Structures are given as C-alpha cells and as structure tokens.
Structure 1
Amino acid sequence: MTPFVPKRLEQIAFGLFLTFFMTFIITGISTVLAVGADAPGLAGLWFRAWMSSWAVAFPAVLVVAPFVRRILRVIVRPA
C-alpha cells in the first residue's frame, strides 16, 4: 500500500487508530463482563458502547497527548 497520510497529520492518525483499537477492545471486554458473552443483542450493545467511547476517546487523546509528551520530556532520561 502506498502511504497517503501527510507527515504533519501523523499524530492525528496515530490518535485515531490508537483510540479505535483501544476502545474496541476495552468496550468489548466491559460489555461481555456486564451482560455476559451469551447475552442477546451483545453485538449491538458492544457497537453502541464502542462508538460512544470512541467519540470521547479520540478528541480526548488529541487534547491530552501534548501534556503527556511534556511530562515524558521531564521524566525520561536521555539515551
């Protein structure tokens, strides 16, 4: 596949994919734990939980990431 995301958008693309997969996994686990793996309509419940979580997580990561980078610059020792 030919790369198509400009370098200046790499951090946004990173946040998009990171939150996509993390919310998918976490909401899946949480939904199964809450209603059981054999619950009727599990896929629909999971999907709604995933979409609402992703809608919050993606913008949150874009806002929080710069603060985390600053913290890491303070606490991580150079190589």
Structure 2
Amino acid sequence: MFNRPGSFSQISNGGATWFVGTSLLPSVASLIPLFKGVSAESKSEGVMTSDAEMWNGRFAMVGVVAFAFTEYVSGRTLV
C-alpha cells in the first residue's frame, strides 16, 4: 500500500497554503446570496430548512475534527 502522510503532517509541510486557498473560494462564494439580500430563512421550505442545514454543518464539523483527532491519536492515516 501507499505510505501517505497524515493530515497534520500535510498541513505542516506546506499544506496550509493549499488548505486556505481551497477553503477561501467556497467561503466567499457562500456570501454572494447574503450580498444580494437573500436570507436562508426566506428560501427554507419542506425538509431543507435553514435549521436542518445548520445542524448538518455542525455534524460535518464534528466529523472533520473527529477524523483529524483519530489520525493524531493513532499515528496513522485513515484514508
């Protein structure tokens, strides 16, 4: 199998620039509706409500932190 470096190793070896670069574009793009005056609440209907999306985002953030923590504790990459 391949010997891949872990998340922390990748970030410390120049990956921080790539991380910021790839995170910046979607972050800025998500602000465009706000600048146009469109709110999440005005577009919420059915199952896809703004509250549901907020919880999805929170669970995703917890998952990413758990993934990084597991890599750190085990000392191995998971992917």
TM-score (norm 1): 0.32
- The structure with the largest helix share of the pair is 1
TM-score (norm 2): 0.32
